[in-house]
Amino acid sequence: MTASLLFTQLLNGLQLGILLFLLSSGLTLVFGIMNFVNLAHGSLYMLGAYFAASAFRATGSFLAAGVIAVAATLALGVAVERLALARLYARDHLDQVLTTFGLILIFNEAVRFVWGSAPVYMNVPAALAGTVNLFGLPYPAYRFAIIAVGLAVGLALYVLIHRTRVGMLIRAGAANGPMVAALGVNIRLLNTLVFGLGAALAALAGLMAGPIFAVQPGMGESILILTLVAIVTGGIGSIRGAFYGALLVGVVDTVGRAFLPALLREFLDRALAQAAGPALASMLIYLLMAVVLALRPRGLFPVKRS
Amino acid sequence: MKRALSLAAALAIALAAAPAAGEIKIGFIATFSGPGAALGQDLYDAFMLGIDHAGGKLGGQTVEVIKEDDQLKPEVGVQIARKLIEKDRVQIVTGVIFSNVMMAIHKPITDAGIFFIGSNAGPTPLTGKGCSPYFFSTSWNNDSLHEPMGKLATDLGYKRVYVLAPNYQAGKDAVSGFKRYFKGQVLDEVYTQVNQPDYAAEIAQAVAAKPDAVYVFYPGGMGINFVRQYQQSGLIGKIPLLSTATIDGTTLPALKEAAIGAITASPYSPDLDNPQNKRFVADFRKKYGRTPSWYAAQSYDAAQLLDSALRKVNGSLANKEAFRAALKAADFKSVTGPFRFNTNQFPIRDFYRVDVVKDASGQAAFAVKGTVFKDHADNYSKECALK
């Protein structure tokens, strides 16, 4: 194992973490502020990817594809929130889980109906198709773009949450929703706004993931699990928690997958290491979550509640 | 009263034994929902095209095809198999994409004395000890599918190969099939989580090992993710990418140029040069607007096989031994090239080297670059008691 390989793997972990952050930030907003379990967040990500793939093919511009995908998913997210989800806020989590799980099935079949069941192709924008040489190991330029977009989103969210009036209301809503409503804030509008923001962030994640992952029905489910681990580890409702949680999950998952099997082989029988290595590597993030929750039951960066 | 009852019983038995004459019911089981749905659709579309080509009938006999979705769940597969056997009273079942579903439904169907033409999944237990006189395959045994690439990697002179596959039975079968014919050194065998989306970590490890070539088995969406990420790392021209069942007719439309330069081993390619394949590909494209995959080819062959066998028995399944002999004769022209049945009723067939190239119109397409194995039989037929 060389230093440059370790560095590359850390960068891979960072990049996966950033992509998870785009998803986890939206999910944690909805979960933390509205106290709403939205399992269909992965479906919004999938729809964002599909919209982006279609728009990119139609317009030839990645930027235009991004704008269209985000706008379309935002509109769809708000419509779903108004029509189906808004009446569930007062219900318990089980009802919310059942409804949003139903939405996953509906969205998957709707996507299959519109785009077919075969995966859809989305190209890397031509300007980012090359690789960057990192100490002798080639690294895809597009993955640097993901890191850049993710950091920019993180910064923008920081400013929005901590420096603006809307952000103040969002923070207040996370800390004590009923009190904010009692002070005369239109909590209904705030909820729609937050849900829309979450949908837009999911679409952005879908856009960035489109060129590296297969755009296909059900693509949101596997990544949703990682996202949930990230926000639970980071602390539900906190953007900062979503950021660090996602990075931690990304790095631990990547570095574990890369080095754990080889490490086990050092002191285990080869056949045993081959069987145990991948299994243990895939469990690593859940172990991490368990340890974090044992030490800090509300995650690494919990939201202060009164 | 007693007499009337026994008469009714006798009548019921007679009715069950002799379904309405003049029509054959065929149960078509495949995966039509979830991530594997594209494969099931290819299987079904090609089978229906096969019926079209046989004049809307099979062997001159009208057929009714009853399509069922197994949802890639063995327990659902068993339910629909029961329904096809007991309620629809089908005489023939065909299809099945995935091995886990195949393992669950093989016994109920063949035990009921129903002819079963598997057109994709070929789990090893059914090839060897568990073979059945009622089961025929138009595809391959799971690990013999990967032997050609092992041989090809040896022939291409690769000494050091890095191997990746998903961490489940088919992934391990793939690697053992590959290793059976690969004479060089396997630098590492990496098993990744099933449906893992990101392979950046594994790709970086592979590059660092400095292999002559990388061999992968990643079916479906996993293959799209892996191949694209491999290409985006600028590796396709540098470290040859060898694969089986990864870049195929169902994933190439989502990969396009990203896969150009990849080397695959396959039982089929749409540019195979035989008249029946030219007709099949042209009509499949015309009818469905896409190029057929090997899944499609195998299912089209299943329709052709049934057509030839039903013709031999004049459209009647009354004599099962006669129908079995007619199937075994495999008296049809396979779109995949030479085809005959081994004693275990799996095919003895050719495997080809198929590269992804730019075709005349600049699109990514498959091109046959030679035959890796001629008349290749799987490793397990000797364990099968059938003669």
**Cβ–Cβ of B208/A137 closer than 8 Å?**
yes
Q: Which of A5, A45, A216, A223 to mutate to test the interface with B (most CBs of B within 10 A)?
A: A216
Contact (CB, 8 A) for B251 and B364: no
Q: Is the Cβ pair B197, A222 closer than 8 Å?
A: yes
pLDDT digits (tens, 9 = 90+) for B137-178: 999 998 889 999 999 999 999 999 999 999 887 888 899 999
A vs B: CB pairs below 8 A: 122
| Cβ(B51)–Cβ(B37) below 8 Å | no
pTM of structure: 0.84
Query: Is residue A72, in this structure, part of any structural domain at all?
Result: yes
Judge whether residue B242 has pLDDT over 70: yes
pLDDT at B143 (0 to 100): 84
Q: Is the pLDDT of residue B296 over 70?
A: yes
| Cβ-Cβ contacts under 8 Å, B253 against chain A | 118-119, 121
pLDDT recorded at residue A107: 95
In this structure, which amino acid lies at residue B118?
G
- Alpha helices, DSSP H only, in B186-293? 200-208, 221-232, 252-255, 275-288
- Please determine, for residue B375, whether its predicted confidence score (pLDDT) is greater than 50: yes
Question: For residue B14, what pLDDT is reported?
Answer: 47
Instruction: For chain B, say whether A265 makes contact (Cβ under 8 Å).
Output: no
Residues in chain A within 8 Å Cβ distance of B37:
112, 117, 217
Query: Which residues partner with B29 through β-bridges?
Result: B68, B95
Residue found under tokens 């002798």 = A136
Beta bridge partners of B23: B62
pLDDT for B5: 52
Give me the pLDDT at residue B109, please.
96
Interfacial B residues in 250-279 facing A (CB < 8 Å)? 250-251, 253-256
CA distance B44 to chain A (A): 14
Residue A2 lies in a domain: no
Domain count, chain A: 1
What is the tally of helices (H) and strands (E) in chain A? 11, 2
Which of B33, B207, B251 is the closest to A119 by Cβ?
Answer: B251
Give residue-wise pLDDT tens across range B24-79.
999 999 998 777 788 899 999 999 999 999 999 999 999 999 999 998 899 999 99
Q: In what order do the strands lie in the sheet with B23-30?
A: B62-69, B23-30, B92-95, B115-118, B135-137
To the nearest whole number, what is the mean pLDDT of chain B? Answer: 90
Parent domain of A208: 12-119+141-295
Q: Is B229 on the interface with A (CB under 8 A)?
A: yes
> CB A139 to CB B233 under 8 A?
yes
Q: Is residue A134 part of a domain?
A: no
Mean predicted confidence (pLDDT) in B221-237: 88
Sign of the dihedral through C-alpha B86, B88, B92, B95: negative
> Looking at chain A from residue 39 to 98, which residues have their Cβ under 8 Å from any Cβ of chain B?
none
Nearest chain A CA: its distance from B110 CA (Å) = 31
Nearest CA in chain A to B225: A213
Of the pLDDT bands very low, low, confident and very high (cuts 50, 70, 90), residue B17 is: very low
Q: Is residue A159 part of a domain?
A: yes
Q: Does B293 touch chain A (CB under 8 A)?
A: no
pLDDT of residue A265: 80
pLDDT for A230: 94
Percent of all residues in chain B with a pLDDT value above 70, rounded to a whole number: 94
Does residue A273 lie within any of the structural domains? yes
Domain-located, residue A6: no
* SS3 labels along B321-360: HHHHHHHHCCCCCCCCCCEEECCCCCEEEEEEEEEEEECC
Which has more pLDDT, B3 or A245?
A245
pLDDT of B19 reads 46
Verify whether the Cβ–Cβ distance A112 to B202 is below 8 Å.
no
Would residue A170 count as lying in a domain? yes
Residue A205 maps to a domain: yes
pLDDT tier for residue B134 given thresholds of 50, 70 and 90: very high
Give the separation between CA A14 and CA B254, rounded to whole angstroms.
27
At residue B294, the pLDDT reads 94
Domains of chain B: 11-143+274-349 (3.40.50.2300), 147-266 (3.40.50.2300)
**Contact between chains at A119 and B233 (C-beta distance less than 8 A):** no
B19 with B63: CB under 8 angstroms? no
**pLDDT confidence band for B300 (50 / 70 / 90):** very high
Residues of chain A with pLDDT under 70: 1, 304-306
A270 or B113, greater pLDDT: B113
| B288 close to A (CB below 8 A) | no
Cβ within 8 Å, pair B204-A278: no
Shortest alpha-carbon distance between residue B281 and chain A (Å) = 19
CATH code of the domain containing A53: 1.10.3470
Higher pLDDT, B119 or B233: B119
Rounded to 5°, angle at Cα B214 from B211 and B216: 155
Portion of chain B with pLDDT greater than 90, in percent = 71
User: What was the pLDDT predicted at B6?
Assistant: 56
